[in-house]
Amino acid sequence: MAVFLVDGAVHAVVGHCPHRGGPLGEGTVRGLVVTCPWHRWTFDVTTGRCLSHPDRDVASRTVSLDGDDVVVEIS
């Protein structure tokens, strides 16, 4: 799971890039877009939509805060 804090909101997507399994949580985030550090594929952190290859989205997850804990719904 890759979790991102962007402008005070927490977002989560599946943590590996569908291209070659790159670690999205280690990618560069600009605005609401994370770039995979291995091959530069880009994803919207709010939806998991792949911006560079539209047929290769990753799943997004609902996130909530419980005090200091980040709770990611996995279903």
- pTM, two decimals, is 0.92
Which tokens is 59 given? 């799943």
Whose tokens are 């799971």? That residue is: 1
pLDDT at 74: 87
Whether residue 42 is contained in a domain is answered as yes
E strands within the chain? 2-6, 9-13, 28-30, 33-35, 42-44, 60-61, 63-66, 69-72
Whether residue 38 is contained in a domain is answered as yes
Number of other CB atoms surrounding residue 42 within 10 Å:
17
Number of domains in the chain: 1
pLDDT at 42: 98
Per-residue pLDDT of the chain (75 residues; tens, 9 = 90+): 999 999 989 999 999 999 999 999 999 999 999 999 999 999 999 999 999 999 999 999 999 999 999 999 987
**Which CATH number covers residue 27?**
2.102.10.10
pLDDT at 25: 96
